[in-house]
């Protein structure tokens, strides 16, 4: 039996060849209910549907867009280029001022996924996380028309 990471990487290689993203799903969560910037969630389905939400005690925003096939392929190639699942930050308590980040990538057709939860302070040790977060934060800003307060992650990922 293959390692789930290998299955996902083969699936992404297949996306490059066949341009077929059906069954794939990416999830990103930045922040939390206790975070001063609130909780930002981005979900990108292989069908193109993209949902962005931002929640904090006094405000909630929800954005929904549909990405075209060319943009979906570019997005999933970004994951292949910067495989966050190769990073292995140690589980630890939050340090003052850190932001919680959770990423998950799944191939629903194969029933496999990879997930990683870390603090933005881990980006220095695992640069692949910063390289991936930088365009993801840009996408959040673009979809929200800059209405979501910028995340501390962007400063560390640049």
Three-state DSSP at 142 gives helix
**C-alpha gyration radius of the chain:** 15
Q: What pLDDT does 146 receive?
A: 87
Q: Which of 58, 66, 125 is nearest to 90 (CA)?
A: 125
Q: Which residues pair with 25 in a beta bridge?
A: 45, 106
Secondary-structure class of domain 4-157 per CATH:
alpha beta
Both tokens of 152, joined, read: 């501390």
Number of residues written out for the chain: 158
Q: What pLDDT does 149 receive?
A: 73
Both tokens of 74, joined, read: 């570019």
The C-alpha angle with vertex 43 and arms to 108 and 95, in degrees rounded to 5, equals 110
Q: What pLDDT does 154 receive?
A: 45
Q: What pLDDT does 125 receive?
A: 95
Extents of the domains making up the chain: 4-157
Q: What is the mean pLDDT of each run of 10 residues along the chain (158 residues)?
A: 86 95 96 87 95 87 93 96 95 91 94 94 94 93 85 51
Residue 74 main-chain phi, psi, to 5 deg: -60, -45
How far apart (Å, rounded) are the C-alpha atoms in residues 134 and 111? 28
């Amino acid at each position: 039996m293959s390692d789930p990471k290998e299955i996902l990487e083969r699936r992404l290689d297949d996306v490059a060849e066949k341009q077929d993203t059906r069954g794939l799903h990416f999830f990103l969560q930045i922040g939390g209910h206790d975070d001063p910037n609130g909780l930002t969630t981005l979900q990108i389905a292989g069908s193109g549907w993209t949902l962005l939400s931002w929640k904090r005690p006094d405000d909630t925003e929800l954005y929904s867009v549909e990405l075209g096939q060319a943009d979906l392929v570019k997005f999933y190639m970004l994951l292949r280029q910067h495989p966050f699942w190769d990073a292995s930050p140690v589980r630890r308590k939050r340090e003052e001022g850190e932001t919680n980040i959770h990423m998950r990538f799944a191939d629903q057709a194969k029933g496999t996924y990879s997930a990683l939860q870390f603090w933005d302070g881990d980006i220095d040790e695992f640069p692949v996380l910063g390289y991936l977060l930088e365009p993801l934060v840009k996408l959040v800003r673009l979809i929200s028309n800059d209405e979501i307060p910028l995340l501390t992650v962007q400063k560390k990922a640049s």
